[in-house]
A and B are shown apart, each in its own frame.
Chain A
Amino acid sequence: MIVATLKEIDEIRKMIDRYDSVLVVGCDSCVAECAAGGSRETMLLTAALKLSYLKDHKNPTITEAVLDRQCVDDFIDQIADQAPEHDAILSLGCGAGVQALARVYRDKPIIPALNTLFIGETVSRGVWQENCLGCGNCKLGYFGAVCPVTRCSKKLMNGPCGGSKGGRCEVNPEIACGWDMIIRRLDALGELDRLTEYVPPCDWSTSHSGGPRKVIREDQQP
């Protein structure tokens, strides 16, 4: 899933203060799972904004709506009636959701309420971990299903570096050393031999380094 966090209300206010009416639009997919932009968070943000404006003796129109998915046109249509009635849309979607709304509602300013962070998993309640950088060339099969590109702070393919201490990364002891995890997992699986081979430089052209990526599937097109 895409993991995101809510921006500070002051930053949001700076971007939307110029509008008289704002449609606050949540997304009930990834950002609901990470408790940043789902129905509940949309309701809370709307209330917080109203309160914040009230304190400043202002009373803009703030309406809330939630889409099942903010990155797919079929769902974006759900706000087709409400969007024209507002000066701007405040999106609690990820960066893709914000940009999809902007593509559909061409004449509306779309303002992000979230900081989109990473592709990750919910490892325990209230804890989300980044574990995929979307490099476009998955090598998890060689590394015991622990991604060196994502879980090693230096993207080492032939790691671990000299800063690994007690299973922790040199960058910050809060970060688990990706290579420590790789070695332990392959050891447990009896596949440590996978790590003695030299891993050549990655082809980053399949990642964002090759420019913004696009998947086109004719079999999926109408």
Chain B
Amino acid sequence: MKTESHLEKVLKAGQFAVTAECGPPKGSDVEALKEKGKSLLGVIDAVNVTDNQTAIVRMSSVAACSILKSIGHEPILQMVTRDRNRIALQSDIFGAYAMGIRNILCLTGDHQTFGNQKAAIGVFDLDSIQLLKTVKDMRDEEKIIGGESIQVAPRMFIGAAANPFADPVEWRVVRMAKKINAGADFIQTQCIFNMERFEKFMAQAIDMGLTEKTYILAGVTPFKSVGMAKYMADKVAGMDIPDELIRRMAGVPKDKQAEEGIRISVEFIQRFREMKGVSGIHLMAIEWEHKVPEILELAGLKSSRAN
């Protein structure tokens, strides 16, 4: 074991891991955060805490991780390089580890022009791969950028994101390999809707021996409605949603669409469980966290992780 992370333990034991996303509130509402967190307790292995996702100002991910940990969660600290320079990034990693956070997901982040602070400066002092290497060097070499040594190194279990569907397509596995070489112990993918393309991506990853070096968790997002499916297909960067899925959502009455969306997710999860090289799933049920237990139960994944 590289770390004291519970997620690492689960993955190392060969259990099919389940992580889910929990977005911090827009404000300092601790109770709302705890409420969201409670619905995920005992059904997932670790909770991803987003870092000002889509560049919308929310409670800091470090603080939200700490609050979720206090109610019994294993948090994964999402950290983007958009808003902090290397001084702030490294300092926050020290602080997060000091508060008992053992997992980190290193991201560049959506561009600031997407959010509610469009006039903000984008920092981008480091990119996500440089952040991965930084966290790895802090843990394994006990050094910060520039080579100075540190007292009590943060021993984080390090994650990275991968999007199999962005362009240039032929470059996607190469980029994931770069992330793994830089220090990614685990990968959480962008939401998968195009199974065929994802299977090809995984076959390539297996061929390159990447699944021997890292754990890949496949991204799952349930549609609440056909409107959401269309919106994601048209507006959200880096999505590949086959028309067939949108037709399937449109084919059921409005009041049954949420159910259909969940059914699709459950079918996907079952396929991921069978898929070679996939070590788990990452559920991104956006503002629908309370549905996660139901999805996992339907997919037969809930009972095994009650603690």
Contact = CB atoms under 8 A, between A and B. Distances in A.
B178 A162 contact: no
A154 B127 contact: yes
Interface stretch (B27-35, B70-78, B118-126, B299-307): B118-126
A53 B52 CA distance: 49
A162 B124 contact: no
A200 interface: yes
Interface in B111-139: 111, 113-114, 122, 124-130, 133-134
A201 B168 contact: no
Centre residue among B108, B114, B128, B167 by max chain A CB count within 10 A = B167
Interface in B121-165: 122, 124-130, 133-134, 145, 161-163
A116 B171 CA distance: 36
Nearest to B123: A155
B182 interface: yes
A170 B111 contact: yes
Nearest to A154: B124
A161 interface: yes
Given A154-B82, A165-B166, A171 B111 contact: yes
Given A170-B237, A170-B238, A201-B130, A153 B167 contact: no
B279 interface: no
A184 B169 CA distance: 12
A161 B108 contact: yes
A21 interface: no
Given A158-B129, A158-B130, A165 B108 contact: no
Interface string A154-170: 11111111111111001
A190 to B, nearest CB: 15
Centre residue among A154, A157, A164, A177 by max chain B CB count within 10 A = A154
Contacts of B125: 201-202, 204
Given A170-B238, A198-B181, A160 B111 contact: no
B130 A160 contact: no
B174 interface: yes
Contacts, number: 91
Given A154-B82, A170-B111, A171-B111, A161 B166 contact: yes
B237 A163 contact: yes
A180 interface: yes
Contact of B238 (A157, A163, A200, A202): A163
B167 A201 contact: no
Nearest to A177: B167
B58 interface: no
Interface in A171-222: 171-172, 177, 180, 183-184, 195-196, 198-202, 204
Contacts of B174: 195-196
B178 A157 contact: no
Interface in A136-167: 153-167
A162 B190 contact: yes
B171 A155 contact: no
Contacts of B145: 201
Nearest to A155: B124
A196 B178 contact: yes
Contacts of A180: 167-168
B130 A162 contact: no
A165 B237 CA distance: 8
21 contacts: A154-B122, A154-B127, A155-B124, A156-B108, A156-B127, A158-B129, A158-B130, A159-B175, A160-B166, A161-B108, A162-B162, A162-B166, A163-B237, A164-B166, A164-B167, A167-B167, A170-B111, A180-B167, A184-B168, A196-B178, A201-B86
Given A155-B124, A198-B182, 10 more contacts: A154-B108, A154-B127, A158-B127, A158-B129, A159-B175, A163-B110, A196-B178, A199-B129, A199-B130, A201-B130
